[in-house]
Amino acid sequence: MQGVGFRPFICRLATEHGLTGEVGNRTNGVSILVRGDLKAVDRFSNEILEKAPPASRVKSIEIVPRPVGNYDTFFISGSMDTAGSVTEVSPDIAVCDECLEDLSSDRGRIGYPFINCTNCGPRFTITESLPYDRPNTSMKHFEMCPKCSAEYHDIEDRRFHAQPVACNSCGPELAYSDGREDLTGTETILPRISQEISSGRSVAIKGLGGYFLMCDALNDQAVSELRKRKQRDSKPFAVMFRDMTEVRKYCFTTVREEDELISWRRPVVILRMKVPLAMAVNNGLGTAGAMLPYMPLHYLLFRSLETPVIVLTSGNLSDEPIITRDDEAIARLMPVAGSVVSYNREICNRTDDSVVKIIGKDIAVIRRSRGYVPGPVDLDFPVEGLLAMGAEQKSTFCIGKGSQAILSQHIGDLKNPAACDFYGESLERFSNLFSFSPGCLACDMHPDYFSTGYAERLSSELGVKLIRVQHHHAHIVSCMAEHGLDEKVIGISLDGTGYGTDGRIWGGEFMIADPVSFSRFAHFDYVPVPGGDAAVAEPWRMAYSYLVKYFGPDFDFDSIPSLKRIDKGKKEVVKVMILNGINSPLTSGAGRLFDAVSAILGLCTHSSFDSEAPMRLESAIDHAADESYPFTPGQTIGFEGTFSGILEDLRRGEDIAAISARFHNTIAEIILHIAMMIREMHTLNRVVLSGGVFQNGYLLERSFSRLESEGFKAFTNHLVPANDGGISLGQLIVAAKQNELCV
């Protein structure tokens, strides 16, 4: 992988073993020409695997004996383009401990906010083209000073061939503006930022992959004001803690969660709260998206800030993409934050912070971007020339190069015009960066998705084949690809929305699937979705729909406290819509079932952000329980017994936490029951779980436990999101398997 200090590492290692020769970047990998004693060469090759830089991925080492000329030393040769092939581009790497020490001790870099070396720093976000050399990055505009140049060319130095190397004398510089005055100089700007934050104001600040908005996470008024100005709904803000001591003070952590927090990827990690932050940070959800500093600038900020924790959220308005251009930040973020801190290095590829969650002892990627992209998923079959367009929400696309699937960064909801522009911009950048030209396209079956329309236009313009892949089949295959499964499996896909082969909305699907095709074995009961998207925003509508279905229109809805509070006129309109099939498409979606239960329990009758109702339903569980509710098994899975049990528990005054746990247990029991039915009929024993609902930690752990107790082997997503962010990977694999002429 280019950009992880691999060539300097090889150069030093060869010198240690008394070998001469050269190492060079090729667009298809790293080439090492080494001359010396065969035993020394053997020890050298073994230590490549043992001592490789942490962010590198050594897939294979191919050793070919050949005559070579005389070499006096071992050196790094010039990079070469190899017939359009590409190697991997490193994601951005969090600042290393040695560079942090240099912030205080190294002459020329004391307090330098962009310090880096071969082991850390910006990579993907500054890369314009390959090979990864300084002239092909946005650092090309900064000429190295004599000190940096000497380090860059010194094999013994940690900055040997570090492409973004710079210092206070020759590198990017900070700039501050609040519309009234402009400031330069880190020593002047940092105290001003601290003053702004301490005064309860917000600041827009340029990160690695875009601008971010920050304020004091302990000041509720400051957070509320930022939320209002950013036009942000109640969705939780991510927060950055000064250090791990502060994380442990405010959050419960496991060893696995801490490992992820301090990893070189430095994602946002979803943690349970121990001590509350400002209420407006997460609006009582009980969890926080926590991260640690990953830029040297962040560490310098915390030296000045009084607060140990700040909100650090994407610099955008509403659901638009993160802003990367300095002029746009001044125009659009100044009214939100009041001041803007920038620097004069261009962001070539925009990336949000990645978000992960530890479920059990394994990682679940919620949003895959900085630190992960453009790292590939390795396959054991060719996918060259395939382009998968992804879904509508949490959108990504995926390109095929050789036997690697390369997913784009998280793009967002393609119902937003700015996100659609970001989608097209990123596809063009990936095509240029990876020398990619599509020979076959794959897209979702939904006719109204932006990504589907884009695929149709591209297919027509290029004259290439377009393969439409069912949404939930793609979910299952995305997980199969991660685990190298190429066989029939029991596929269970639970999510909110996906276009089915019968033209209805699917989302509670039990299938027999392989990478080529699937058959639907069972599904959750169909219910009307009164008002379509309006029901997603108002979960009480789905509660109404399920109650009408199972107990009839004469059911006393006002006997449920949360529904009694809903306007009577609205309830009557919704009842009429349900009974007469007016703007009420049918769905088997698990997400809508979770919405209904959350609304009945009074946890969320009106959603202010995506998946709020299911998130609050999971958050309500404060202890494990073994009980579950009845359900009706079969090819259509009914929930009359489930709702009867929930309503009875409510009437008896049962604790909401226990009701929520029992409901989740019921879904896990359904998963086990249907899996056992399929195993008995088709002798399949591998179960693949995918879809956004399986980001629910309690449900996933419970499902795995129940399946494995009955001898099943269960799999879920770890490398890519189980939500729609992983759909493009599944589409790519299905297209490759369905039409080998495309690859």
Query: How would DSSP label each residue in 12-33?
Result: HHHHHTT-EEEEEEETTEEEEE
Structure tokens at 538: 């108002």
Q: Which residues contact 629 (CB under 8 A, 6 or more apart)?
A: 641, 642, 644, 645, 646, 662, 663, 666
Q: For the chain, what is the radius of gyration of the CA atoms?
A: 27
pLDDT tens digits, one per residue of 144-192: 999 999 999 998 899 988 999 999 999 999 999 999 999 999 999 999 9
Q: What is the spatial distance between Cα 405 and Cα 379, in angstroms, rounded to a whole number?
A: 7
Query: pLDDT tens, 656-697?
Result: 999 999 999 999 999 999 999 999 999 999 999 999 999 999
* pLDDT tops 80 at residue 717: yes
Indicate the pairing of strand 377-378 with strand 174-177: unpaired
Burial group, residue 361, by CB count within 10 angstroms (0-12, 13-18, 19+): exposed
Which residues pair with residue 524 across a beta bridge?
637
Among residues 316, 345, 342, the alpha carbon closest in space to that of 327 is found at 342
- Among the three residues 296, 313, 343, which one is the final residue of a domain in this structure? 343
Check whether residue 381 and residue 329 sit in a common domain. Answer: no
Same domain, 269 and 404: no
Residues 551 and 642 in one domain: yes
Q: Does one domain contain both 379 and 327? A: no
Taking residues 367-395, what's their average pLDDT? 96
Same domain as 467, residue 435: yes
User: CATH number, domain at 576?
Assistant: 1.10.357.160
What confidence category does residue 742 fall into, taking pLDDT thresholds of 50, 70 and 90? very low
Residue 625 has pLDDT above 90, yes or no: no
Closest CA to 389 of 343, 341, 458, 300: 458
Note whether residue 626 is domain-resident.
yes
- Confidence at residue 49, expressed as pLDDT on a 0 to 100 scale: 79
The token pair that represents 711 in the structure block? 């001898």
Answer yes or no: is 713 within a domain.
no
Task: Say if residues 286 and 273 touch (Cβ distance below 8 Å).
Answer: yes
Per-residue pLDDT band at 15 (split at 50, 70, 90): confident
Of 9, 49, 59, nearest to 29 by C-alpha is 59
Query: Does 506 reside within a domain?
Result: no
Give the Cα separation of 322 and 311 in Å (integer).
16
Report, as an integer, the average pLDDT of 124-148: 94
CA atoms within 13 A on the CB side of 58: 19
Q: Mean pLDDT throughout 693-702?
A: 97
Q: How far is CA 722 from the centre of its chain?
A: 10
Query: What's 134-169 look like in SS3?
Result: HHHEHHHHCCCCHHHHHHHCCCCCCCCCCCCCCCCC
Handedness of CA 619, 621, 624, 626 (dihedral sign): negative
Q: Return the H-helix or E-strand segment holding 572.
A: helix 568-580
Residue 3 pLDDT level (bands cut at 50, 70, 90):
low
Whether the Cβ atoms of residue 273 and residue 287 lie closer than 8 Å to each other: yes
Q: Does residue 415 lie in a domain region?
A: yes
Q: Which two tokens stand for residue 676?
A: 């056992």
Which residues on adjacent β-strands are paired with residue 399? 387, 406
- The Cα–Cα gap between 686 and 712 comes to 6
Whether pLDDT at 233 is above 90: no
Q: What CATH number does residue 250 fall under?
A: 3.90.870.10
Q: Find, among 206, 281, 201, the residue nearest to 240 by Cα.
A: 281
d(CA 545, CA 547): 6
Instruction: Report whether 472 contacts 588 (CB < 8 A).
Output: no
| Phi, psi at 139, each rounded to 5° | -85, -5
Residue type, 582: I
For every residue of 44-81, which 3-state class applies, written as one string? Answer: HHHHHHHHCCCCCCCCCCCCCCCCCCCCCCEEECCCEC
For range 573-581, the mean pLDDT: 95
Which CATH number is 453's domain given?
3.30.420.360
Q: Which residues fall within 8 angstroms of residue 152, CB to CB, at 6 or more apart?
A: 144, 159, 160, 161, 162, 165
Task: Give the domain-ending residue among 16, 42, 76.
Answer: 76
Distances (CA, A) of 412 to 372, 418, 448, 455: 16, 10, 16, 17
- Contact partners, residue 191, CB within 8 Å, separation at least 6: 304
Q: What is the pLDDT of residues 236-260, one digit of tens each?
A: 999 999 999 999 999 999 999 999 9
pLDDT at 25: 65
Identify whether 659 is part of a domain: yes
pLDDT digits (tens, 9 = 90+) for 319-332: 899 999 999 999 99
Q: Look at residues 42, 76, 110 and tell me which one is the last residue of a structural domain.
A: 76
Residue 300 lies in a domain: yes
Verify that 245 and 322 share a domain, yes or no: yes
The distance in angstroms from the start CA to the end CA of the chain is: 24
Residues 253 and 372 in one domain: no
CA 532 to chain centre: 27
CATH number at residue 25: 3.30.70.100
527/529 Cα distance (integer angstroms): 7
Q: Quote the DSSP letter at residue 416.
A: S
Q: Quick one: 444 and 544 in the same domain? A: no
Residue 105 lies in a domain: no
Confidence grade of residue 86 (pLDDT, cut at 50, 70, 90): low
Which of 147, 155, 192 shows the shortest CA–CA distance to 73? 155
Question: 318 with 189, same domain?
Answer: yes
Residue 88 has pLDDT above 80, yes or no: no
pLDDT over threshold 50, residue 741: no
Largest CA distance in the chain: 93
Q: Are residues 324 and 418 in the same domain?
A: no
What are the Cα distances from residue 192, in Å, to 195, 215, 244, 542?
5, 13, 26, 50
DSSP 3-state assignment of 719?
coil
pLDDT at residue 107 above 90? no
Residue pair 723/366 in contact (Cβ under 8 Å)? The answer is yes
Residue 263 has pLDDT above 80, yes or no: yes
Q: What is the mean pLDDT of the chain?
A: 93
Query: How confident is the model over 476-491, as pLDDT tens digits?
Result: 999 999 999 999 999 9
Q: What is the DSSP letter of 3?
A: T
| DSSP strand pairing (377-378 vs 362-367) | unpaired
The answer to whether residues 299 and 396 belong to one domain is no
Structural tokens at position 25: 């970047």
pLDDT at 70: 82
Amino acid present at 91: P
Looking at the fold, whether 465 and 537 belong to one and the same domain comes out as: no
Look up residue 444 and give its two tokens.
């979702």
The 3-state DSSP class for residue 266 equals: coil
Domain extent at residue 262: 174-343
Out of 65-69, 189-193, 400-404, 461-465, least confident range: 65-69
Rounded mean pLDDT of 558-579? Answer: 95
Specify if 685 maps to a domain. Answer: no
Q: What domain count does the chain have?
A: 4
